[in-house]
Amino acid sequence: MGGGGWVRHPAGAVNELDRKRDRAPVPAAWDYAPAPEARDLVELRERYGLFVGGNWLEPSETYTTIDPSSEEPLAEVGQATAEEVDNAVGAARAAFDDGWSSISPSERAKYLFRIARILQERSREFAVLESINGGKPIRESRDVDLPLSAAHFFYYAGWADKLEYAFPNRKPKPIGVAGQIVPWNFPLLMLSWKIAPALAAGNTVVLKPAETTPLSALLFADVLRQAELPPGVVNIVTGDGSTGAALVKHEDVDKIAFTGSTEVGKSIQRELAGTGKRLTLELGGKAANIIFDDAALDQAVEGIINGIYFNQGHVCCAGSRLLVQESIYEPLIGKLKRRLQTLRVGDPLDKNTDVGAINSRQQLDKIKELVAAGEEEGAEIYQPPCRLPEKGYWFAPTVFTDVAQSYRIAQEEIFGPVLSVLTFRTPDEAVEKANNTPYGLSAGVWTEKGSRILAMAQKLRAGVIWANTYNRFDPASPFGGYKESGFGREGGRHGLEPYLEFE
Ligand code: NDP
């Protein structure tokens, strides 16, 4: 017996145990009793208007938003036209001029604290809605999206009356009206990343949620009502890309904050060139998750799984390229495949679910196209046996081995539960391969050597680098990219700067 009650084995015996564990049979499907979260925590309206100036305006056109796990319609939602966007911008301008920009900063903080607390109080309701409309597992919306959304409002509430301290000798003041366009992968969290710093800095907002996931933003309007936020400080216009484009073009918008695809980000940058409007872009990624031979392998496997299958891989900073040191390739891939067999794919509202539904048919088609390209180009595909539901949009967790750097699956953002595995021999080769991408949003490094982590972090061209973990977020920590992953930072003190002017 060793200290603390642990049984000590001779080193050889431990290796033997390890070897056996890898060969032990894994059930093809784990049997879990269903554990569904209550869907009736959310009361959906049949039809939603546009939230402008504190009122619900009847939209001139509507579309139907659906549940991607069943393809069932959920509600009719406004498709805002350029004229309706103009109304929303007008309401935001009036609110900015009528007092929001000049009320005391501690008063602004009060509203942000209220919003944070109400989000906490209503977190189960929001989590269910986020899962119904977006397809993500309730475990994630409950344990990640909602706590982080509230945390962002708490965090920026704390900065609202400390701007002079955050930027000493620079006399910060708000910019004016911020147009904010968010994607469908983290609808409420991206809304929080954008609205919280904008309001803390004294700006007003027109927010456009993604076409496929408008409902949590519309429920958020009710949080604003509860918090008694003055009308027009936050306006929400739903619709497709044309609504976003109208917001970008609007002359009276002072700043655009966009999260989404690199393609649309580039078109926005072109549109705004020479206008003097401020812009921040948080775009795509093709992150390398790098595993050295001295890493704790089981821990690394959890990090790989979390890196790519979290939120069905609909994550801009997903660890979609796995770089494995050659000497541990076989044991690591063996462990990874075994772990993959235990992932439960299915009903997003079931608390046992690990991988939910793909957000839309369009995204499913894109994933299928890239996976077919990977097979054609010669990579070897592995998918664990799993039963996918018949209705809705689903894709099994997938690993590609034998991937060359030139393959599309190693170059393009798939934005789905698909991992491409490459190998390396030396740290320099790992850096070279990791940086061989037009993107530069994030990376992961797994090693027990602190010095190696620091050396790699110096050389990797990525805005966020995780060491011995992956996909960890904190409102105090700035997030953003290099190269085609965009520019500007969200989170932390850095996240305030794009919403401020300095005298
Ligand atoms: P988009 O970039 O089209 O969507 C992001 C947001 O921008 C949505 O609100 C969208 O509205 C809006 N939008 C679309 N066109 C315009 C425009 N011309 N001007 C202003 N706003 C616009 O992403 P998709 O949803 O089309 O996804 C395509 C790919 O982009 C994915 O497969 C993925 O690779 C990548 N992506 C990356 C994200 C990231 O966080 N880095 C997030 C989402 C997607 P609408 O929803 O109505 O189209």
Position 386 scores a pLDDT of 86
Q: Is the pLDDT of residue 112 over 90?
A: yes
Position 204 scores a pLDDT of 98
For 493-499, what is the mean pLDDT?
Answer: 97
Using a 6 Å cutoff on CB, does residue 249 contact ligand 1? no
| DSSP H stretches of helix in 378-459 | 408-411, 427-434, 450-459
Using a 6 Å cutoff on CB, does residue 210 contact ligand 1? yes
CA 469–ligand 1 middle distance (angstroms): 28
pLDDT band at residue 26 using 50, 70 and 90 as cut-offs: low
Q: Looking at 84, 316, 317, 413, which residue is catalytic?
A: 316
Position 387 scores a pLDDT of 87
The number of the ligand 1 atom at minimal distance from the alpha carbon of 239 is 47
Question: What residue owns the CA closest to ligand 1's atom 26?
Answer: 261
For 370-395, what is the mean pLDDT?
Answer: 96
The number of the ligand 1 atom at minimal distance from the alpha carbon of 265 is 2
Position 21 scores a pLDDT of 53
Position 266 scores a pLDDT of 96
Q: Which amino acid is at 443?
A: A
Instruction: Check: CB of residue 51 under 8 Å from CB of residue 215.
Output: no
Distance, CA of 161 to CA of 158 (rounded, Å): 7
CA 204–ligand 1 middle distance (angstroms): 23
Position 498 scores a pLDDT of 97
Using a 6 Å cutoff on CB, does residue 242 contact ligand 1? no
For a ligand 1 pocket test, name from 189, 264, 360 the mutation site with the most ligand atoms within 8 angstroms of its C-beta. Answer: 264
Q: Is the pLDDT of residue 477 over 50?
A: yes
For 252-257, what is the mean pLDDT?
Answer: 98
pTM assigned to the model = 0.93
Position 503 scores a pLDDT of 84
Instruction: Check: CB of residue 42 under 8 Å from CB of residue 122.
Output: no
CA 41–ligand 1 middle distance (angstroms): 29
CA angle 258, 92, 130 (to 5 degrees): 50
Using a 6 Å cutoff on CB, does residue 181 contact ligand 1? yes
Question: What residue owns the CA closest to ligand 1's atom 48?
Answer: 241
For 377-401, what is the mean pLDDT?
Answer: 96
Q: What is the 3-state secondary structure (H, E, C) of 266-309?
A: HHHHHHHCCCCCEEEEECCCCCEEEECCCCCHHHHHHHHHHHHH
Using a 6 Å cutoff on CB, does residue 484 contact ligand 1? no
For a ligand 1 pocket test, name from 181, 286, 312, 414 the mutation site with the most ligand atoms within 8 angstroms of its C-beta. Answer: 181
Q: Is the pLDDT of residue 15 over 80?
A: no
The number of the ligand 1 atom at minimal distance from the alpha carbon of 182 is 9
- Containing H/E element for 376? helix 361-377
Using a 6 Å cutoff on CB, does residue 283 contact ligand 1? yes
Distance, CA of 105 to CA of 308 (rounded, Å): 40
Position 101 scores a pLDDT of 85
pLDDT band at residue 102 using 50, 70 and 90 as cut-offs: confident
Using a 6 Å cutoff on CB, does residue 261 contact ligand 1? yes
Task: Find tokens 């603390």 and name the residue.
Answer: 4
CA 399–ligand 1 middle distance (angstroms): 25
Using a 6 Å cutoff on CB, does residue 490 contact ligand 1? no
Half-sphere exposure of 71 (CA within 13 A, CB side): 9
Q: Which amino acid is at 222?
A: D
Using a 6 Å cutoff on CB, does residue 244 contact ligand 1? yes
Active site residue 282: yes
CA 330–ligand 1 middle distance (angstroms): 38
Question: What residue owns the CA closest to ligand 1's atom 6?
Answer: 183
Q: Is the pLDDT of residue 23 over 60?
A: no
Q: What is the mean pLDDT of the chain?
A: 94
Position 1 scores a pLDDT of 31
Half-sphere exposure of 308 (CA within 13 A, CB side): 30
Question: What residue owns the CA closest to ligand 1's atom 24?
Answer: 261
Q: What is the pLDDT of residues 447-457, one digit of tens each?
A: 999 999 999 99
Cα 252–chain centre separation: 29
Position 29 scores a pLDDT of 56
What is the sign of the dihedral through the CA atoms of 209, 213, 218 and 221?
negative
Using a 6 Å cutoff on CB, does residue 320 contact ligand 1? no
Task: Find tokens 């955050």 and name the residue.
Answer: 166
Distance, CA of 176 to CA of 353 (rounded, Å): 43
Q: Looking at 282, 412, 484, 490, which residue is catalytic?
A: 282
For a ligand 1 pocket test, name from 215, 261, 411, 415 the mutation site with the most ligand atoms within 8 angstroms of its C-beta. Answer: 261
For 184-200, what is the mean pLDDT?
Answer: 98
For 389-400, what is the mean pLDDT?
Answer: 97
Q: Is the pLDDT of residue 87 over 80?
A: yes
Position 14 scores a pLDDT of 41
Question: What residue owns the CA closest to ligand 1's atom 12?
Answer: 241
Active site residue 386: no
Q: Which amino acid is at 41?
A: L
For 304-315, what is the mean pLDDT?
Answer: 98
- Biggest CA–CA distance in the chain, Å, is 76
